[in-house]
Amino acid sequence: MIAAAAHPVEPSLLLVELGLIVVGLATLGRLAHRFGFSTIPLYLVAGLAFGTGGLAPVQSSHEFVRIGSEIGVLLLLFTLGLETSAEQLAAQVRASLPAGVADLFLNFVPGLGAGLAMGWEPSSAVLLGAVTWVSSSGVAAKILSESGRLEAPEAPVVLAILVLEDVAMAVFLPIATWALAGGAVAGLIVALAAVGLALLLAFRSGRIVPRLVDHGSDEVVLFTALGLMLLVAGLAQHFNVSAAVGAFVLGISLSGPVARRAHGLLGPLRDLFAALFFLFFGLQIDPSALPPVLLPAAGLCALTTLTKLATGWLAGRAAGLDRQARRRAGAALVARGEFSIVVAGLGIAAGARAELGTLAAAYVLLTAIVGPVLARR
């Protein structure tokens, strides 16, 4: 991680550096849209180029990018929660539970086994299992949208698997954080109870949260939704529950037309700060540390591409889809992205081994390229 500047930052340098960063992100976005692939690997590569050991390390705007990256995680998960109501979530979980169990076994075990085979301690190996398990909701949604298949028969199957993974991660993240921190069992019980209570409130809140957010002014809706997200995330963090989980649960509790309004208003902010999150993750990784992990990352990518294709096939078969739709469902699930980076980032912050970050970055880069290419073919 890059050290903060020892002296006050020159405002003009800060503005110039931020301007270059944002224009650079826009340029990368243009390239990604031009060639039809995810922006995530490009943002990670940019972070590698301008971080520790890179071509021109970011200095003046480092702290701004760090704070922006934390907000980016919250916005990613909050807007993901906005995309489904509590009722839809419950129905999808019940219908897709067998496929979700298969997804866990097929995609968590390779990462766990690889971590143990490399001699990692169990806690870091478990986190690597989570990295290989969870598909990228952002990349999957983009694949469905760009291919014009949001109304296709495999779309509900893909979304159901993603929702199951998100709910599982809401439980997994507090457990992983507790294990890495070496806390007492009482702390784990409190964290899990808090998650359970939050999910219960999300299911039972009815119209309370939408009424708090709803207003005739878009400005008021934007500020209220954003403020509540930050407030809930901060309280969750205070009580040793992942702030990201708090943001996700709040998003679930906000449903109906106001949720769609909030999603549209927060979309540009999410895109900006999420880009800073991926950029900051890359900034913290020394490119010279990547070559040793490229071989295991490529091996994991090859293996877990097959296991995600199998997940989509099994889920599609259970839903009565034809063979072609099952293959498309599996291809949409191949890419890993935001959650994998979140898990690795949280793990490193909590004391997991540094190799987790470099391996996760290389792995996400590879899967974020392979997934869209498979989906196109």
* Angstrom distances, CA of residue 296 to CA of 117, 293, 308, 333, 377: 11, 6, 18, 21, 26
Q: For residue 366, give the nearest of 129, 30, 25, 40 by alpha carbon.
A: 40
pLDDT bin (cut points 50, 70, 90) of residue 16 is confident
Give the separation between CA 250 and CA 256, rounded to whole angstroms.
14
Q: At what angle do helices 338-349 and 122-133 cross, to 10 degrees?
A: 160
Tell me the pLDDT tens digit for each residue of 280-296. 877 777 777 778 888 99
The 3-state DSSP composition of the chain as helix, strand, coil percent (nearest 5) reads 80, 0, 20
Mean pLDDT, residues 57-85 taken together: 77
C-beta of residue 312 within 8 angstroms of C-beta of residue 326: yes
- Give the closest residue to 245 by CA, choosing from 339, 334, 337: 339
Q: What pLDDT is stored for residue 204 in this prediction?
A: 65
Say which range, 60-64, 123-127, 176-180, has the weakest mean pLDDT: 176-180
Q: Is the pLDDT of residue 88 over 80?
A: no
pLDDT in tens, 169-199: 767 777 776 666 665 566 666 666 766 776 6
Mean pLDDT of 90-113: 83
As a residue count, the chain comes to 377
**Structural domains of the chain sorted by starting position, each given as residue range(s) with its CATH number in brackets:** 11-376 (1.20.1530.20)
Residue 25 has pLDDT above 70, yes or no: yes
pLDDT exceeds cutoff 90 at 244: no
Percent of the chain having pLDDT more than 90?
A: 13
Give the best-scoring range by mean pLDDT among 120-134, 165-179, 189-203, 329-343. Answer: 120-134
Return the closest-CA partner of residue 339 out of 274, 294, 251.
274
- For residue 133, what pLDDT band results from cuts at 50, 70 and 90? very high
Q: How confident is the model at residue 5 (pLDDT cuts 50, 70, 90)?
A: very low
4: three-class secondary structure by DSSP: coil
- How far, in Å, CA of 169 to CA of 339, rounded? 9
* pLDDT at res. 6: 44
Q: Report which DSSP code applies to 184.
A: -
Alpha-carbon distance of 264 to 272, in angstroms, equals 14
